[in-house]
Amino acid sequence: MVEALFSAGSKSGVKVIAEGVETIEEYKTLRDMGIELMQGFLFAKPEPDPVQSVQLP
C-alpha cells in the first residue's frame, strides 16, 4: 500500500511525506523505497500546542 501511494504521488510530481515513523526498521524500509521525507516519534517527540496547554480555572 505504501509503495503504491508513494509511486502514484511521485509520478504526479507530488512530494510524499511518510508520517508516523516510529522505528529504525520503518525508517530503513521507507528509505529503501525511495521516500526521503519522513516525520514521526523516531525523529522528535510531539510537542504540546501552547494554545491548547493553557489551563482553565
Residue 9 belongs to domain spanning: 2-38
Distance CA 33, CA 3 (A): 7
Amino acid at residue number 46: P
Q: Is residue 48 part of a domain?
A: no
Distance CA 57, CA 43 (A): 35
Q: Is residue 57 part of a domain?
A: no
Q: Is residue 7 part of a domain?
A: yes
How many structural domains does the chain have? Answer: 1
Return per-residue pLDDT of the chain as tens, 57 residues.
888 888 887 788 888 899 999 999 999 999 999 999 999 999 998 877 776 666 666
